[in-house]
A and B are shown apart, each in its own frame.
Chain A
Amino acid sequence: MAKEYKTLMTEIRLPYEISYGATWTRFFEGMAEKKIYGTKCGRCNRVLVPARSFCPRCFVDTTDWVEAGQQGTLTAWSYVSYRYFGMPTEPPFISALLRLDGTDVDFLHMMGGFDMSDFEQTRKIVKNGMKLRAVWKDERQGHILDIKYFEPA
């Protein structure tokens, strides 16, 4: 039998204080009020969500704040059936990309509001193009998880 060699169990915990800046601050204040804010680019006219200070394509400052719809359409999804560091909830859950009404990019969040313990059943319910709507937590802190999930509308 091969000899076993020693290993060291260790961890690193480092503190950070990360600035949201003005745009993210307003976006997350919106979360606390059950609003999903985007910003509009005056050059390409796209509504970007979450809100940005500048349009990544045109490289100009965004001009207007826009409230995105609470409903949207599913663009892509993944049934997550494994545990990972920093996961938003216990698996299984569904990571989802959705196009919120009145916006021009996809928003990343998760789906919920129905029993998804059985994958084969879940697959019959979840289809790209289906309508979804935001379900909010009662206690909100100005955080992305103030939206509990998006449920079938």
Chain B
Amino acid sequence: MGRAVGIIGVGQTHHGRRTEMSYPDLVREAVVRVFDDAGLTPADIDGVVSGTMPSMMEGIALTHFYFADAMQAVGKPILKTETCGSTGVSIAQTAYYWVASGMADCVLAVGHEKMNEGNAQATMTTVVEPFYQRYFIAGAPGVFSMQSQMWADRYGIPEDKIRDAAAYISVTHHDSAFDNPYAHVKLRVSMDDVKNARLITYPVRLLDVCPTSDGACALIFASEEFIRKIGKKAAWVKGVGYRGEEYFFGDSDKGVWQSAVQSAKQAYDQAGITNPRKELDVAEVYNPFTFQEMLFYECFGFCGFGESPDLVLKGIFNRKGELPCDPSGGVLCTNPIGATGLIRVAETVLQVMGKAGDHQIPGAKLALSHAMGGVDQFNGVMIVGSEL
């Protein structure tokens, strides 16, 4: 680990269909809020990291130029990262490394997406080469459904049980979104609604899938020295992990997803976590698809492989359970992709600072955030705690 790094400000837009606003103005909404929250000004910032989906999504290649004014980045070093779904965690880790290295004291991290302006599934097909895999990836739902199907079959999980558990996740997350003022989809759904929703890519149905959201999120990362000097409370970064996969979808095992397993292990080792289900107080697991969320519980060691559907149905991972997952409503209810991973980090910061409002998990001190990206290539994990 480098030197200690804390997160001292959180700014989120109200996520949703934001056609009343241009893209730079939407980014600025989050940036204004992060400066308000941290009590800092752009003059305090040493560097800026931002990112989006692959630029095919935006239709504008250099978003860090397009948003330079909205992020108050002019005259400062600026970096861009785009790793599809994991962009937000990539941004957070870039900002973390920058401060941890000692090369900056205070870094602004901004993730953003206006999903309603482009075509997300078409963009995702362009992640892979145009002569083989592009045809069959079928956007995000296609590959992730295949992965879920492989995992369920591997562990012999009965179809009815996994369907019930996924529906339970959908119902509880949709309920949670009502307690998150920034969440996009606010919809009461029943188990039957989920199970009877329109089929998208088997086994995924419409209410198992995240929405198309516009939104931005901004965080401020600072060194321990900077934080002590200004006398602010911080959420401290305890561990980070990131891994990628081999390029060809069929080359590596997706049923036990190694990049997810290893990114969590790297973060746990740094944070000194040996029993995540017991030691973590809350997790924001990247869950654009309900079925995928269960695979992550297992890859992250929250339970053994093949066990998650039973534990989900017992309520282990709901807001009153042993390890609450996605009390914000998660990606399932809000997905401005370039911001989504950073929102996961932001939500864990709010939790360990006791500032999560109506979806606060009482007494949360240690929290895991996660995002996956590429089409099925990347996993990134960040762990924050209330104590250094």
Contact = CB atoms under 8 A, between A and B. Distances in A.
B19 A108 contact: no
Interface in A2-22: 2-3, 5, 7, 10, 12, 18, 20
B250 A81 contact: no
A107 B248 CA distance: 9
Contacts of A20: 131
Interface string B147-180: 1011001000000000000000000000000000
B29 to A, nearest CB: 16
A84 B150 contact: no
Interface residues of A, number: 42
A57 B254 CA distance: 16
Contacts of B122: 84-86
Given A78-B145, A78-B201, A108 B121 contact: no
A112 to B, nearest CB: 12
Nearest to B206: A82
A141 to B, nearest CB: 12
Contacts of A81: 199-202
B363 interface: no
Given A7-B19, A128-B150, A79 B199 contact: yes
Nearest to A20: B131
Nearest to B199: A81
Interface string A41-77: 0000000101000001100000000000000000111
A72 B143 CA distance: 20
Contact of B149 (A28, A56, A78, A84): A78
A27 B141 CA distance: 28
The interface centre, meaning the residue of B129, B199, B202, B254 with most chain A CB atoms within 10 A of its CB, is B202
Nearest to A108: B136
A141 B138 CA distance: 23
Interface string A118-153: 010001000010000000000000011100000000
A77 B147 CA distance: 8
Contacts of B119: 85
Contacts of B246: 56-57
Contact of B138 (A2, A56, A80): A80
For chain B, give the interface size range. Answer: 35 or more
B250 A97 contact: yes
Contacts of A12: 59
Given A24-B131, A128-B153, A79 B250 contact: no
Contacts of A96: 136
B199 A87 contact: no
A35 interface: no
A110 interface: yes
B135 to A, nearest CB: 4
A82 to B, nearest CB: 5
Contacts of A106: 249-251
Contacts of A50: 132
A109 interface: yes
Interface in B244-281: 246-251, 254
B142 interface: yes
B186 interface: no
B130 interface: yes
Contact of B201 (A80, A85, A88, A97): A80
Given A7-B19, A81-B199, A105-B251, A75 B131 contact: no
Interface of B: 19-20, 59, 119, 121-122, 125, 129-139, 141-143, 145-147, 149-150, 153, 199-202, 246-251, 254
16 contacts: A5-B19, A10-B59, A12-B59, A20-B131, A24-B131, A48-B251, A50-B132, A76-B146, A76-B149, A78-B142, A78-B146, A78-B201, A79-B145, A82-B200, A105-B250, A107-B250
Given A56-B251, A81-B201, A95-B201, 9 more contacts: A12-B59, A56-B247, A81-B199, A82-B200, A85-B125, A95-B146, A105-B248, A119-B202, A144-B135
